[in-house]
Structure 1
Amino acid sequence: MADKGKNPASETKPDSGASSAEAYVVKDPEAFARNIARMLEELGKAASAWVEPREKGEVADTMSEPMTDMVKTFSKVGEYWLSDPKRAIEAQTSLLTGYFDMWSQSVKRMSGENAAPPSRPRSKHFSDPDWEENPFFEFLKNAYFITSDWANKLVAESDGLDEHTRHKAAFYMNQITAALSPANFIATNPELYKEMVASNGENLVRGMHMLAEDIVAGKGELKLRQSDSSKFKVGENIAVSPGKVIAQNDICQVLQYEPKTDTVLKRPLLIVPPWINKFYILDLNPKKSFIRWAVEQGHTVFVISWVNPDQRHAGKDWEAYSREGISFALDTIEDATGEREVNAIGYCVGGTLLAATLALHAQEGDKRLATATFFTTQTDFTYAGDLKVFVDDSQIASIESAMEKNGYLDGSKMATAFNMLRASDLIWPYVVNNYLKGKDPMPFDLLYWNSDATRMPAANHSFYLRNCYLENNLSEGRMKLAGKTLDLADIKIPVYNLAAKEDHIAPARSAYIGGKLMGGDVTFVMAGSGHIAGVVNPPEAGKYQFWSDGPKNAEFEDWVAGATETPGSWWPHWNEWIRSNSGEEVPARKPGGDKLTPIEDAPGSYVRAQV
């Protein structure tokens, strides 16, 4: 994070009273030239920060393989359109017609005729009035939309492509069109251009200084800052629910939280978070914390905090995470409370591991898991969304090759993949704000958590990619764990299956289909919003809504059509479901009980480890 006192330029705000024409005229050419020179100096530092670790062999470029795959994918699209001259001419004519129509409308408006511009949904990326009022920028914007719509249509209408290739082509095209938006460049964005002129280029000096800092922070890779990380510290103002680490091993720490009620539910609650991110998404701050809220509802809450792995964990596979993670936590809970029956929650891939463990336990006669709740979890990966773009034999082989060196996948790789799912919201606005406007991002706890990346153990990650995304073995009854072939139909316990309507990582349809494969009573609920906000939605916020009580055994679309919509958070609905399965209460329990001596305060040391 840039040191405010050492920033190479001070921020100057644009003059809001400047006329439209004056806003584009440099007022102080000498200062402007001086700042451009300083900007180039900072850009040189950024280039040096990028080149140096490569010269030392500390960083190996990995862009060639994705670029090769993208070119290969687009070549298949091109083959379809170029193989038939008539088809190729029609495609070119379609694009030219769009340009001519746009030009005609622009000429009419410039001559005073009443010619309405094309109707499009308003975009925050084109909010400056000059996108509409200045003919030059309006032309750029309309030309961009016409071109991007045409390019996406070419992909959509390419016959003869297999579904995976079509999916990749559409995804790559979205990445390209998002990157080439005129909103992302100074010369083509009126807001950026005016800001550059008003500050005599000081914004670019600041921006290139931040770019150099972010490449240094990424050790030769760009670590895009999405939040002011200086404002957060785990255990001090984030992840602050009081509790203790009561057990640990090579893979995880087990946390137990201090009770806030005199009596608690007899069945303890175990949360199995994803190891792709850190558990404190469920404990961002007291107002947003699901963990704190659950404690206040009378749950004895235990959480697995996964290790941030290094070379020592290279061979830790799914069986290890099941045995040394979930089973270890269940043993710990029994030692701390004397209870064998436990309610469990699995979030995202933590839920996928929980489902696999439940199927394994069913074969082994282990009945400690009494109910299961899945937060945005996939057990069937047929409709797994855009992440499937990154999964085929060649790409997985490339990832496995990259993991061989250190025994893990660097956390930044997964963070970049997740950001690419919503590049227009999670990448380019920050590129513009940070490096072109030269402004620090606002402090935002959710985005701070998002940037607090974790590594993936090689054996674990390879098993996950191949068995889930590539081969869909869990839902097809082919996944093997601990020598057993797993069957989701063996899961007979009550299940609460929560999906999120706008989830880009675990699409609601995918979560719904996976839930139908389980053999017991499954309560499906769909929350409003996405993968995080749909889950982290405290009742006090009064936000969003959820759908429940859709028709049994229906197709997903029919379930949605017939479900009941309820405003607000789904949390109370889940709590009622838990209590309906077992509402017996006992006196509140202290962390560790009489058998276990707490090791350290929550959130523990494992979650603090940085990549």
Structure 2
Amino acid sequence: MLRSETMVDPRPNGAVSTVAKEQGTSMSRANALVPVPDARNEAERHPHAILDRASRAALARLTGGVSPHSIIAAWQDWALHLSRSPGRQLELAELFAANFAKLGAHGMGAALPEGADPPFEPRPYDHRFDHPSWEKPPFAFWKQGFLAAQDWWDAATSTMPGLRKQDADRARFQVRQALDLVAPSNFPWLNPEIIEETATRGGWNLVEGAAHFAEDLTRTLLQAKKPAPEGYRIGEDLACTPGEVVFRNKMFELIQYRPQTDDVHPEPILFVPAWIMKYYILDLSPENSMVRYLVREGFTVFMISWRNPGMEHADWSLEDYRKHGVMAALDAIGSIVPDAKVHANGYCLGGTLLAIAAATMARDGDDRLASVTLMAAQIDFAEAGELLLFVDESQVAFIEDFMWDQGYLDRPQMTRTFASIRAEDLIYSRATNRYFLGREDLATDLGVWNGDTTRMPARMHSEYLRGLFLENRLTAGRFAVEGRVIALKDISVPLFVVGTETDHIAPWRSVYKIRLFTDCDLTFVLTSGGHNGGILSEPGHPRRHYRIDRREPDSLYVDPDSWIASREEREGSWWPSMAEWLACRSGARRTPPAIPTLRGSGRKRLNAPGTYVLEP
């Protein structure tokens, strides 16, 4: 059910906050992080500049948004430093000879009945060579040859004195992409699993694979999303915790979930998901829904469901997401649950936004927060993982050109970026299974959500990449909100921060760095799993563990390696620890707040998951 879009601020001064109307004027641009190109006003610039930008945008479309300059500069830096390092050249020559000798010895040993121990092993997450026949000749030699080349190039692209680490990492990443393209597992006549499947099924697997390829190619050309398989429908099987939309504006819908206990804690929970994904990662299937779990633990839960922006929303800024997103949601909750502070929870990029909002509220004396939970969310981007491979001045400018004519960064462009980081599994293993073995993708709730991608508004994404990733302004004391710099040290409410052990999007050591920039009461949790799987760690999930520790206010800093060495693993899910932490910082239970009735807009009640999450 939708409320009026003019909400009364619950703070004592009784100020009125008006959220942008559906058809209202464009949101203010006065608080831009940095001067970035504006898609709407680009035509007012000089024709020469427009010509340059159009040519760069055309090149960006051809390269998929990857800057050729960044690639060339990385290889130039690597080659020049290698050319003046005769010792490194000799070391690499010796390694080449040693690897070749190992291959020869293994080839001779593999021909014997008892075989020989392989000299090279694939990475733990590389499952391309799991089939037993890869250990038999001649397939074993092809596999070992590929892994030997991979080993040599890893050494060749390691850091050298004077070589920028980012250039070394980029060179290694690009070599890895090239090697993955020519891996023997990708070719039907070199892959024993494909050969066996083809012989067993009389080639029917190749016929089915060709049909899969034609289907995927058609969807790619038409930019059409694959419909959710049976049993994974949004609102029926996924995102199905009962609730109602109680507020909406141009940017988001606010869902209030129905209570499932006789009484609840007075402080509600507000989830701020990332707009780079649909919100229902936090309300997936009933058995692994964090929302359902917390509702059943006696909490009143609100969820922001972001709108999937189009070209008409190109001018949305990071400040708009804070002001007309997080702050508007707090205003709405304040009118529904008056005189109650809010436990705010931000996931991924939503956590970064929440940290900005919390620091701004602390600066301005706004005390509506009871606590802040940040899940797999970074506030310092100096060690932001493999995504830094895609961020430098040239690359950001190239992405801005890429977004210039369409007003957003589209779904396939985002998907390719994340998939390329784990190309072995997310691209090539999937392609082999689907196109050569004729197997359908295994339907899972997480897989369906992962394919339900969103778009990034041009201005917001440019500000995010420049202000946070490229310039790291938030922890450098140069991030301004409404013309004044904010400081994370101003946050005084308790923090609950979650990192995941194998996260390659928000590495846990980067998430842990919040301890350097805050002085408040802080509980840090390190859980098993990756960026998504580690957060979806419901009670009863097999093979889960976590570490947890509380830092008292104004305590001395402990580095991450010392921290993890001194904290014992706990078996099971970290969710009960979070629920207990929230309950300890909440008041005595009372009657659940009513879900408000419609106020004069004439619109009908709208049940969760709302309409924005269903937009393509």
- Shorter-chain TM band: 0.7 to 0.9
Q: Secondary structure at the match of 2:250?
A: coil
The counterpart of 1:156, out of the listed 149, 158, 165, is 158
Shift of residue 93, structure 1, vs aligned partner? 4.1
The counterpart of 1:136, out of the listed 124, 135, 138, is 138
* CA shift digits 1:105-156 (9 cap, x unpaired): 32244255874432636763212222112x2111101111111000111011
2:78 aligned partner = 77
Per mean C-alpha deviation after superposition, the further-off stretch among 380-389 and 87-96 is 87-96
Contact 1:260–1:298 (Cα < 8 Å) also in 2: yes
Cα distance in 1 between the residues matched to 2:354 and 2:519: 15
Per mean C-alpha deviation after superposition, the further-off stretch among 515-524 and 275-284 is 515-524
Q: Secondary structure at the match of 2:157?
A: helix
2:356 aligned partner = 356
Which 5+ residue runs of structure 1 have no aligned equivalent?
Answer: 1-56
Cα distance in 2 between the residues matched to 1:67 and 1:213: 31
The counterpart of 2:561, out of the listed 539, 554, 557, is 557
Cα distance in 2 between the residues matched to 1:108 and 1:502: 36
Shift of residue 79, structure 1, vs aligned partner? 2.9
Identity of aligned residues (%): 35
Contact 1:502–1:531 (Cα < 8 Å) also in 2: yes
CA RMSD for the aligned pairs?
2.5
1:604 aligned partner = 610
Cα distance in 1 between the residues matched to 2:183 and 2:379: 36
Q: Secondary structure at the match of 2:179?
A: helix
* CA shift digits 1:356-400 (9 cap, x unpaired): 011111122211112100001100111110001111111111111
* CA shift digits 1:274-310 (9 cap, x unpaired): 0000000011111000000000001100000000001
Contact 1:544–1:569 (Cα < 8 Å) also in 2: yes
Contact 1:549–1:564 (Cα < 8 Å) also in 2: no
Cα distance in 2 between the residues matched to 1:280 and 1:112: 54
Change (3 A) 1:182 1:492: same
Shift of residue 64, structure 1, vs aligned partner? 7.8
* CA shift digits 1:228-279 (9 cap, x unpaired): 7455221121111110011100100000001000111101110000000000
Is residue 106 of structure 1 aligned with residue 107 of structure 2? Answer: yes
Change (3 A) 1:64 1:453: closer
2:36 aligned partner = none
1:25 aligned partner = none
1:517 aligned partner = 517
Contact 1:241–1:291 (Cα < 8 Å) also in 2: yes
Cα distance in 2 between the residues matched to 1:304 and 1:277: 12
Give the aligned residue type for 2:80. E
Contact 2:266–2:340 (Cα < 8 Å) also in 1: no
Cα distance in 1 between the residues matched to 2:313 and 2:515: 31
Q: Secondary structure at the match of 1:126?
A: coil
The counterpart of 1:184, out of the listed 180, 183, 186, is 186
* CA shift digits 1:210-236 (9 cap, x unpaired): 22221221236798x8x9745522112
Q: Secondary structure at the match of 2:247?
A: strand
1:442 aligned partner = 442
Is residue 374 of structure 1 aligned with residue 374 of structure 2? Answer: yes
Contact 2:67–2:398 (Cα < 8 Å) also in 1: no
Cα distance in 2 between the residues matched to 1:542 and 1:209: 36
Cα distance in 1 between the residues matched to 2:213 and 2:615: 25
Cα distance in 1 between the residues matched to 2:604 and 2:539: 32
Cα distance in 2 between the residues matched to 1:425 and 1:183: 12
Contact 2:262–2:591 (Cα < 8 Å) also in 1: yes
Matches within 5 A, 1:483-502: 483-502=483-502
* CA shift digits 1:192-218 (9 cap, x unpaired): 122233334332232222222212212
Per mean C-alpha deviation after superposition, the further-off stretch among 353-362 and 587-596 is 587-596
Give the aligned residue type for 2:593. R
Cα distance in 1 between the residues matched to 2:482 and 2:146: 54
Cα distance in 2 between the residues matched to 1:308 and 1:477: 31
Per mean C-alpha deviation after superposition, the further-off stretch among 114-123 and 286-295 is 114-123
Is residue 174 of structure 1 aligned with residue 176 of structure 2? Answer: yes
1:219 aligned partner = 221
Is residue 118 of structure 1 aligned with residue 147 of structure 2? Answer: no
Higher relative contact order (CA 8 A, sep 6+): 2
1:587 aligned partner = 591
Q: Secondary structure at the match of 1:600?
A: coil
Shift of residue 529, structure 1, vs aligned partner? 1.1
Contact 1:550–1:560 (Cα < 8 Å) also in 2: no
> How many correspondences in the alignment?
551
Is residue 503 of structure 1 aligned with residue 509 of structure 2? Answer: no
The counterpart of 1:207, out of the listed 209, 213, 219, is 209
Change (3 A) 1:554 1:93: closer
Contact 2:244–2:610 (Cα < 8 Å) also in 1: yes
Q: Secondary structure at the match of 1:373?
A: strand
Change (3 A) 1:510 1:174: same
Cα distance in 1 between the residues matched to 2:172 and 2:596: 52
Which 5+ residue runs of structure 2 have no aligned equivalent?
Answer: 1-57
Per mean C-alpha deviation after superposition, the further-off stretch among 533-542 and 585-594 is 585-594
Per mean C-alpha deviation after superposition, the further-off stretch among 559-568 and 446-455 is 559-568
1:534 aligned partner = 534
* CA shift digits 1:446-487 (9 cap, x unpaired): 011011000011111111111111011001111112222111
Is residue 567 of structure 1 aligned with residue 607 of structure 2? Answer: no
Cα distance in 1 between the residues matched to 2:202 and 2:526: 50
2:40 aligned partner = none
Per mean C-alpha deviation after superposition, the further-off stretch among 344-353 and 148-157 is 148-157
Change (3 A) 1:289 1:64: closer
* CA shift digits 1:500-547 (9 cap, x unpaired): 111111111111112431231111111111111111111132441110
Shift of residue 589, structure 1, vs aligned partner? 2.4
Matches within 5 A, 1:454-493: 454-493=454-493
Change (3 A) 1:550 1:303: closer
Is residue 415 of structure 1 aligned with residue 415 of structure 2? Answer: yes
Give the aligned residue type for 2:193. E
The counterpart of 1:576, out of the listed 566, 575, 580, is 580
Cα distance in 1 between the residues matched to 2:455 and 2:262: 40
TM-score by length of 2: 0.84
Cα distance in 1 between the residues matched to 2:115 and 2:433: 36
2:398 aligned partner = 398
Q: Secondary structure at the match of 2:99?
A: helix
* CA shift digits 1:562-592 (9 cap, x unpaired): 1232111111111111121123222012322
